[in-house]
Amino acid sequence: MEIKGYQAIAITDHADTSNIDLIIPRLCRLAEEMKPVCPTILIPGIEITHVPPDLISRVVQDSRKLGAKIVVCHGETIVEPVHPGTNRAALEAGVDILAHPGLIQAEEVELAAQKGIFLELSGRKGHCLTNGHVARLAKKYGARLAINSDGHAPSDFMSDKFARAVGMGAGLDATEVEVIYEEVWNWLRQRIL
């Protein structure tokens, strides 16, 4: 990823109870192996995906115990069947980022704001359809936002220019997008880097 100019990248592969114990330790090992050979910092994480809401809290705790530095939960996007209640369960469990939260409810955005959880503005086709809704509620309730590629292939990784366009396409101005960048970097520096 140094070719794209990234200073750091989090790998947060999709996981559920069947595979987190395989994915996270391998990503932790990869992050250590890459340190001496790659200037881009690799952050091991996980994206809890299609897990029943009643199990999300345990999976978040297990992910952290296994070494995940960033815990993301696949939210209630409008383009995939996701268990109702996933957004709330993820927020209550204290994930770091709620990815593609779809038509998230106002009280859930308030909870994200209270807990300091980032809500994703996605650059991914389909998931991005509700970015404006997410950004509007985040501004209203003071929730943090993160602009994310949700990359599944090398071509999905965004340039800085495209990431800023995703934020502006969600209805934010250039200053608000800059604040998002600063908040994410400050959080990374304090918690991970």
Q: What is the mean pLDDT of the chain?
A: 95
Name which of 33, 27, 29 is nearest 10 in CA terms. Answer: 27
Residue 100 scores a pLDDT above 90: yes
pLDDT at 107 over 50: yes
Domain count, the chain: 1
Q: Are the C-beta atoms of residues 11 and 42 closer than 8 Å to each other?
A: yes
Q: What is the CATH number of the domain that holds 149?
A: 3.20.20.140
pTM: 0.96
Q: What is the mean pLDDT of residues 155-165?
A: 92
Of the candidates 37, 30, 71, which has an alpha carbon nearest to the alpha carbon of residue 191?
71
Domain that residue 36 falls in: 2-191
